[in-house]
Structures are given as structure tokens and as C-alpha cells.
Amino acid sequence: MSVESSRSEQYPLRRREVVGRLLADRGDALVVAGLGAPAWDVTAAGDDPLNFPLWGAMGGAVSMGLGLALAQPRRRVIVITGDGEMLMGLGSLATVAACQPSNLAIVVLDNERYGETGMQHTHTAGDTDLVAIAGAAGISRVHRVLTGEHLNDACVHLVQDTGPMFFGVKVRAEALPLVLPPKDGAWLKDRFRLALLGESSVNG
Amino acid sequence: MNEPASWQQDIFDVLMDHDMRMVAYVPDAGHIGLIDACQSDPDVTTVPLTTEEEGIALLSGAWLGGARGALLMQSSGAGNCMNMLSLAKVCRFPLLMLITMRGQWGEFNPWQVPMGQTTAEMLKLAGVITFGVDDGGDVRDTVGAAARMSVHGNAATAVLISQRLLGAKTFGN
Ligand SMILES: Cc1ncc(C[n+]2csc(CCOP(=O)(O)OP(=O)(O)O)c2C)c(N)n1
Ligand SMILES: [Mg+2]
């Protein structure tokens, strides 16, 4: 594998700040977070009943967001996941394109590493380009986010544009303190449905 | 459009009775009539998948948003789902998988046999309640039972539709 092994250690964007900025104006958006560090980043921005942080199901974050977006066409759905998690479910980008949900945004925090398992290089440390893949899968609104200025633009697009949208955010490879969300899946599910759909949805 | 066989129409009716209007699939010939019936109903959202495991995550997300659905596949697709089934189990998401069997009854293609022979056991190991159906006349009740247990019991369920019912594919042999 041809790899520029350390370039992502120099990237200016820091993942916690990126997620904090993107979620600052979330309003009533629904958020699905991919396993590991992206789930910790989303939780660091504020635990919320309308977050669904995954602790497993690697490769499934985008599909989960798609199902949610189709079920709730009037709510914005934001999937925030890692490059490793996205690589395991690349086909789901084509499925998003087949459905063209106008309320779905996908944000990949691309540190070019499998952070959770010891910072091994992912394919994006080489020549693999997730933004190009998302575009070629059929998602027309794709954004490459490399700088603070790009991030400012991304925050505007996220709120104003119709989806589906894909943001490939190059973030610095860094290990940060864990900020763990609740981890009982059944409880997270009921908490989410209670907040979104009301009492009868968990007590029916 | 391929007219659904009567047992496929029965499945369609059960799905509608249970308000399961998101139907995700990787196609199998055994599901042709059902997929066509779903696609021609404007109240049904059909989602073509690139791999069956997407459907488990998709329908879990749909349930979070208050929508119900079902996942159609052939038996080889069940093997693609193994890790993703942990999402259904650990979160107790309702799941209804409708699986047309290959590699089971008079199979011509040996490449279908390993997965067809392990589908039921594999699903059970993953915590999925599995039902088998051999006779077209039993499809309605069996799918209805599985649908009820999934949406009312937060259970992962699968109905394995026998190759005997479907007729084995022979490629002219
Ligand atoms: C099916 C499966 N394979 C492997 C793992 C181990 N694993 C957990 S997190 C992870 C890496 C995630 O990397 P990425 O999505 O890029 O997140 P990062 O920590 O780099 O932000 C891996 C390989 C797993 N949990 N499930
Ligand atoms: Mg990563």
C-alpha cells in the first residue's frame, strides 16, 4: 500500500471542534453516530435523546441514517461517522443515491486511520477518495472539507441545502479523551423513540 | 409486472395489515412477484440494497423514526447479515426477514448449498426466531405470526420459505 504515513497528523481541522460546530445549529435534527471516536465526538458536543450513538454495527451507520430519514422525511438526519466505518459500508452510499432522501446529510471524519484499534492506516491514507466515491455513487452534493473556511461553508450547507449531502472532512489523526454515551442499546432506542414519537411509542 | 403468486400476495397483505411499508431487498427470483407488488404500490417504500446487512441497519433506523418494514433476501444473503444482527439483538429492534431458500431441496447449484444448509442454524445462533414454511397455504399464518412477534415483542424474526415451495432452479438440467 502506498501511504504518506503521517500527513493526517498535520491536518488543521480537529474533530471535536468540527463536530461541535456542525451540531451547534442542529435544531431538531436527528443524529446517528458511527462506532468509536465519532460517537465520542458527538457525545462531547452534548448527549441528546435524539442522538443514536452506535457501539458496534460497523458499516451500518449510513444505512441506519437512511432508514431514519425515509421514516421522518420532515426532519433533518445527520450521520457522523469515521472513514473506517464508512469504508465497511461503501455500498450504502449507492443505496442512499437510489433513494435520494432530501433530508439526509453524511459527515465522514476522515483521519485516515482506524483510531479505535490503534491508529492503523485506512485506505484513505493512500489513494482512496471518499468524496469522489460518494459523488460517483450518485450523491450529487458532495463537499471536501479541509480548512476552517471550508468548515464555515459546510455549516451553512448543512442547514440550508437539500440532500442527500456528503461531507468528507479531513481531520487530524489524534487520540482524544473518551466521552462515552450511554451504551445500553435497548435503552438508547427507547430514549430516542420517546423523545421523537412520544410515550405511546415505547409503551404500546 | 410479474403477477404475485397467491402466497406472495398473502405476504403482501400481511405486511400491509401490520403497517410494514418499508420493504428492503436484494432480489431473489423467489421474491419477484412480491417485489413487483411492493413497487407498484405508492404507499410502499421499496429500498434496493447492495448487500443484505444494510437492510438490518436501515430498518432499525426506520423503527427509530416510527416506520415498520421487512427485509427480503435469498438464503445466501443471510450469511451477509451475521454481525449486523447484533444491532437487532442488543437494541431489541423488531426485524422481519423473509428468506427464500436455495441450496435446500433439489438444488442444482452446489455453490448455494453451504449457506442454504446453515441458514436456519446460523440465524438461531444470532438470536433470530426462525420459522420454516413448506406449503404455500401456510405462508399467510406463518408470516403473520413472525410479524406480530417482531413488532409487538421487539424480536428479530425470520421466515424461511422452502425451496420445495419455490421449485428448484435447474438451468434446464
Ligand atoms: C465488524 C467489525 N470489524 C472491526 C471492528 C473493530 N473496530 C472498531 S472501531 C474500528 C475503527 C473505526 O475507524 P474509523 O471509523 O475510521 O473511526 P476513528 O476512530 O478513526 O475515528 C474498528 C476497526 C469492529 N468493531 N467491527
Ligand atoms: Mg478513522
With a cut of 70, say whether residue A1 has pLDDT above it.
Answer: no
With a cut of 80, say whether residue B168 has pLDDT above it.
Answer: no
Over residues B132-145, mean pLDDT:
97
Residues A181-195: tens digit of each pLDDT: 999 999 999 999 999
Query: Counting ligands in written order, which one lies closest to the CA of residue A62?
Result: 1
Q: Which pLDDT does position B170 carry in this prediction?
A: 64
Rounded CA separation A112/B36 (Å) = 42
φ, ψ dihedrals at B166, nearest 5°: -75, -30
pTM of this prediction exceeds 0.95: yes
Amino acid at A177: P
Nearest-CB residue to B64 (from A61, A91, A192): A192
Instruction: Give the domain extent around B83.
Output: 6-165
Rounded CA separation B85/B78 (Å) = 10
With a cut of 70, say whether residue B47 has pLDDT above it.
Answer: yes
Residue B173: inside a domain, yes or no? no
Residue B1: inside a domain, yes or no? no
Residue B172: inside a domain, yes or no? no
- Class of the CATH-defined domain A3-203: alpha beta
With a cut of 90, say whether residue B173 has pLDDT above it.
Answer: no
Q: Which pLDDT does position B2 carry in this prediction?
A: 84
Contact A100, A93 (CB under 8 A): no
Domain boundaries, chain A: 3-203
**Which of B69, B59, B56 has its CA nearest to residue B23?**
B69
Amino acid at A26: R
CATH number at residue B97: 3.40.50.970
**Ligand 1 pocket test: which of A41, A85, A123, A169 has the largest number of ligand atoms within 8 Å of its C-beta?**
A85
Residue B43: inside a domain, yes or no? yes
Beta strands B68-74 and B20-25 are parallel
Task: Specify burial of residue B131 (Cβ count, 10 A radius: 0-12, 13-18, 19+).
Answer: middle
φ, ψ dihedrals at B92, nearest 5°: 55, 50
B chain contacts of residue A30, beta-carbon cutoff 8 Å: 64-65
The region, left, alpha or beta by phi > 0 then psi within -120 to 50, assigned to residue A33 is beta
Over residues B138-164, mean pLDDT:
97
Over residues B87-115, mean pLDDT:
97
Least confident of A88-92, B29-33, B67-71, B163-167: B163-167
Task: Tell me which residue has cell 404500490.
Answer: B41
**Which of B157, B18, B146, B93 has its CA nearest to residue A193?**
B93
Amino acid at B14: V
Q: What dihedral angle (degrees, nearest 10) is formed by the CA atoms of A183, A189, A193, A194?
A: -50
Residues B65-78: tens digit of each pLDDT: 999 999 999 999 99
Three-state helix/strand/coil letters over chain A? CCCCCCHHHHCCCCHHHHHHHHHHCCCCCEEEECCCHHHHHHHHCCCCCCEEECCCCCCCHHHHHHHHHHHCCCCCEEEEEEHHHHHHCCHHHHHHHHHCCCCEEEEEEECCEECCCCCEECHHHCCCCHHHHHHHHCCCEEEEECCHHHHHHHHHHHHHCCCCEEEEEECCCCCCCCCCCCCCHHHHHHHHHHHHHCCHHHHC
With a cut of 90, say whether residue A204 has pLDDT above it.
Answer: no
Q: Which pLDDT does position A203 carry in this prediction?
A: 80
| Tally of domains within chain B | 1
Interface-testing mutation among B60, B85, B96, with chain A (most A C-beta atoms within 10 A): B60
Q: Which residues of A touch B (CB under 8 A)?
A: 30, 32, 52, 54-61, 63-72, 75, 89, 91-92, 94-95, 98-99, 185-186, 188-189, 192-193, 196-197, 201
- The average confidence (pLDDT) of chain A is 96
Name the band, by pLDDT with cuts 50, 70 and 90, for residue B172: low
Share of chain A above pLDDT 90, in %: 96
Share of chain B above pLDDT 90, in %: 93
Is the link from the previous residue into A164 a cis peptide, with omega within 30 of 0? yes
Residues A75-116: tens digit of each pLDDT: 999 999 999 999 999 999 999 999 999 999 999 999 999 999
- In the DSSP assignment, the letter for residue B112 is G
Rounded CA separation B138/B7 (Å) = 8
Cell output for B138: 401456510
Rounded CA separation A165/A32 (Å) = 15
CA A164 to ligand 1 centroid distance, Å: 24
Contact B57, A68 (CB under 8 A): no
Residues A9-38: tens digit of each pLDDT: 999 999 999 999 999 999 999 999 999 999
Residue B92: inside a domain, yes or no? yes
Contact B119, B75 (CB under 8 A): yes
CB burial readout B152-161, b (16+ within 10 A) else e: eebbbbbbbb
User: What DSSP element (H or E) covers B48?
Assistant: strand B45-48
Q: How far is CA B57 from the centre of its chain?
A: 15
Interface-testing mutation among B64, B87, B152, with chain A (most A C-beta atoms within 10 A): B64
With a cut of 90, say whether residue B167 has pLDDT above it.
Answer: no
Q: Which residues are CB-neighbours of B152 under 8 A, at least 6 positions away?
A: none
A chain contacts of residue B92, beta-carbon cutoff 8 Å: 185-186, 189
Which residues line ligand 1 at a C-beta cut-off of 6 Å? A 34-38, 56, 58, 82-85, 109, 111, 113-117, 122; B 83
Closest approach atom of ligand 1 to CA A113? 20
Which three-class secondary structure state does DSSP give residue B155? coil
**Which of A80, A132, A131 has its CA nearest to residue A109?**
A80
